[in-house]
């Protein structure tokens, strides 16, 4: 079983409840009871036991006592749990089957034969357990991918850096009187290129300048290599000093190994960077279609 050997059995025929209970007990499972000798024969009793014990399997007769039937109980369980559910019924009708189809991880056993076919019940339990394990594995994999995708989406959307904003024509002194760095969030769709400042501060750290679409420029204290490790793939390295946003590439000039941006800038593309620049540019074009 998924996490324990407890089974919720709901059946309104006393003799059949006892037979199934005995069979499942011999298989090493624990059939839940409200009180010893009292069968679980209604929606309300099933809900109480399920919430108290959190079983790993539910075997539910459809025709049970009360206004709500076994499919209603199965629907309730599926709303809060991924456990396998086996439905039992004397009838094989489309009305039942259409309702059961909606409940993922649910199987069906016809109990028209007498005596009741316990072997068929066990086969369906084994199948349901196998199906449910596959379903849970897929769900966990999807959840994991979703978390990874969220991280990728976040990485592809923004970056938070400590920077100094540079005014037009402003030069910064390399001494203690320089303005302090302030933490800012940058959206990648606003960054056109990042360029080495080719300067070293008194503490020995290199600087890069982050150029935005609106012409503002910000200085960040780290190397091109360092900031490159924080960026998504479409922020592509042209050479040792420049990273460009592939979404802003206007064209590449093969003859002179230059890349031109839509913001009226162009940079030399190093031989070892050219293949990736072309690849990211082509991907950027495809995204715009």
Per the DSSP assignment, residues forming a β-bridge with 220 are: 163, 208
pLDDT tens for the chain, 289 residues: list them.
446 899 999 999 999 999 999 999 999 999 999 887 789 999 999 999 999 999 999 999 999 999 999 999 999 998 888 899 999 988 877 778 888 877 876 788 888 677 788 998 999 898 888 877 766 666 666 556 555 555 555 455 788 888 998 864 444 444 444 456 788 889 998 999 999 986 544 444 589 999 999 999 999 999 999 999 889 989 999 999 999 999 999 887 655 678 888 888 999 999 899 888 888 888 888 777 6
Query: Both 179 and 139 in a single domain?
Result: no
Q: pLDDT value at position 132?
A: 73
Q: pLDDT value at position 134?
A: 67
Contact 43, 11 (CB under 8 A): no
Query: Both 252 and 168 in a single domain?
Result: yes
Contact 224, 243 (CB under 8 A): yes
User: In which domain, by residue range, is 226 found?
Assistant: 156-288
Query: Both 207 and 106 in a single domain?
Result: no
Q: pLDDT value at position 176?
A: 40
Question: Is 1 among the domain residues?
Answer: no
pTM over 0.75: no
Report the CATH number at residue 83.
3.40.50.2300
Per the DSSP assignment, residues forming a β-bridge with 165 are: 218
Q: pLDDT value at position 77?
A: 92
Q: pLDDT value at position 237?
A: 95
Domain boundary, last residue among 129, 148, 167: 148
Query: Both 209 and 180 in a single domain?
Result: yes
Q: pLDDT value at position 200?
A: 43
CB-based contacts of 269, cutoff 8 Å, min separation 6: 238, 239, 252, 257, 258, 259, 277
Q: pLDDT value at position 179?
A: 56
Q: pLDDT value at position 262?
A: 84
Query: Both 218 and 234 in a single domain?
Result: yes
Count the helix, strand and coil residues of the chain and give each as a percent rounded to the nearest 5: 40, 30, 35
Q: How many domains does the chain have?
A: 2
Query: Both 165 and 133 in a single domain?
Result: no
Query: Both 13 and 142 in a single domain?
Result: yes
Query: Both 170 and 194 in a single domain?
Result: yes
Q: pLDDT value at position 148?
A: 54
Query: Both 21 and 91 in a single domain?
Result: yes
Long-range contacts of 204-212 (CB under 8 A, 24+ apart): 209/166, 210/161, 210/163, 210/186, 211/263, 211/265, 212/186
Residue 194: name the closest of 182, 207, 178, 204 by CA: 207
Report the CATH number at residue 187.
2.40.50.1020
Residue 77: name the closest of 109, 49, 101 by CA: 49
Q: pLDDT value at position 289?
A: 60
Question: Is 274 among the domain residues?
Answer: yes
Query: Both 176 and 123 in a single domain?
Result: no
Query: Both 10 and 135 in a single domain?
Result: yes
Q: pLDDT value at position 264?
A: 87
* Structure tokens that stand for 254 in this block: 């093969």
Domain boundary, last residue among 148, 164, 190: 148
């Amino acid at each position: 079983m998924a996490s324990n050997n407890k089974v919720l059995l709901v059946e309104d025929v006393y003799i059949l409840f006892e037979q199934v209970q005995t069979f499942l007990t011999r298989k090493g499972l624990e059939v839940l009871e409200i009180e010893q000798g009292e069968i679980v024969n209604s929606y309300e009793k099933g809900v109480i036991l399920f919430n108290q014990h959190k079983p790993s399997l539910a075997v539910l007769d459809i025709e049970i006592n009360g206004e709500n039937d076994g499919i209603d109980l199965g629907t309730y369980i599926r709303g809060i749990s991924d456990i396998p559910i086996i439905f039992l019924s004397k009838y094989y009708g489309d009305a039942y089957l259409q309702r059961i189809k909606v409940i993922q991880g649910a199987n069906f056993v016809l109990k028209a034969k007498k005596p009741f076919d316990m072997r068929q019940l066990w086969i369906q339990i084994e199948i349901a357990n196998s199906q449910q394990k596959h379903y849970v594995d897929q769900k966990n994999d999807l959840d994991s991918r979703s978390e990874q995708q969220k991280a990728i989406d976040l990485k592809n959307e923004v970056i938070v850096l400590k920077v100094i904003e540079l005014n037009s024509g402003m030069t910064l002194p390399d001494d203690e009187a320089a303005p302090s760095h302030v933490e800012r969030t940058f959206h990648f769709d606003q960054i056109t290129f990042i360029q080495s400042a080719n300067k070293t501060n008194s503490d020995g750290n290199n600087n890069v300048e982050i150029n935005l679409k609106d012409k503002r420029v910000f200085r960040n204290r780290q190397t091109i290599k360092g900031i490159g490790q924080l960026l998504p793939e479409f922020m592509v390295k042209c050479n040792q000093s420049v990273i460009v946003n592939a979404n802003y590439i206007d064209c590449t000039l093969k003859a002179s190994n230059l890349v031109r941006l839509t913001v009226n800038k162009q940079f030399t593309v190093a031989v070892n960077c050219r293949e990736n620049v072309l690849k990211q540019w082509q991907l950027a074009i495809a995204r715009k279609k």
